[in-house]
């Protein structure tokens, strides 16, 4: 990939900078180089999400309201997409948010394997020359990122699951 002198680095991300400079070839090349790291990071989490969602769907299919929906003559497709998946989505959302949090804080192996100097390299380099500010900054970054994800998860769960919007049970 040859970049001309007119190529301006704006964000530091080739996928976005290529688009901002009108160089689609650079953006496509950057995306092509992201495929293996993304698959490496996400494969485990997709498997976990699949298992959690499958278990939730199987549990929902055994509930009485599904039997009643079948008795009313609703199509299996409508029952699955309209009733089962809506209730089975909450555990999947929780699993997704926890996976996203671990992706933010646990990319060390991928950075080492693919030779990308990133946040993990800074943290490991700070072990040899102790840098308290760097370690504290990474801890604050990690906590804020995870907390942001958890707040987003709570908002999405309140949208998806009406039982959460009611404010709990009334005694």
Within a domain: residue 42? yes
Within a domain: residue 3? no
Helices (H), the chain: 14-20, 24-61, 64-71, 76-78, 85-105, 108-113, 119-128, 132-160, 162-165
Is the pTM here over 0.75, yes or no? no
| Calpha distance 135→167 (Å, rounded) | 39
Within a domain: residue 171? no
> pLDDT tier at 32 (50, 70, 90 boundaries)?
very high
Within a domain: residue 123? yes
pLDDT score, position 55? 93
Within a domain: residue 9? no
| Calpha distance 5→131 (Å, rounded) | 36
Within a domain: residue 1? no
45-65: average pLDDT: 90
pLDDT score, position 77? 92
Percentage above 70 pLDDT, the chain: 91
pLDDT score, position 168? 54
Question: Considering its fold, how many domains does the chain have in total?
Answer: 1
82-101: average pLDDT: 84
Segments forming the whole domain that contains residue 132: 14-18+26-162
Nearest alpha carbon to residue 49 among 89, 77, 101: 89
């Amino acid at each position: 990939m040859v970049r001309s002198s007119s190529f301006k680095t704006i964000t530091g991300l080739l996928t976005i900078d290529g688009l901002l400079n009108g160089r689609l070839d650079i953006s496509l090349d950057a995306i092509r180089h992201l495929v293996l790291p993304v698959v490496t990071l996400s494969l485990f989490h997709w498997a976990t999400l699949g298992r959690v969602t499958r278990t939730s769907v199987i549990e929902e299919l055994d509930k009485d309201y599904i039997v009643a929906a079948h008795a009313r003559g609703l199509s299996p497709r409508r029952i699955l997409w309209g009733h089962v998946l809506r209730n089975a989505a909450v555990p999947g959302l929780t699993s997704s948010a926890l996976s996203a949090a671990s992706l933010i804080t646990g990319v060390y192996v991928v950075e080492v394997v693919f030779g990308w100097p990133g946040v993990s390299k800074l943290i490991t380099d700070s072990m040899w020359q102790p840098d308290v500010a760097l370690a504290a900054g990474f801890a604050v970054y990690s906590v804020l990122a995870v907390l942001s994800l958890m707040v987003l998860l709570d908002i999405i769960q309140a949208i998806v699951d009406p039982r959460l919007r009611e404010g709990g049970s009334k005694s």
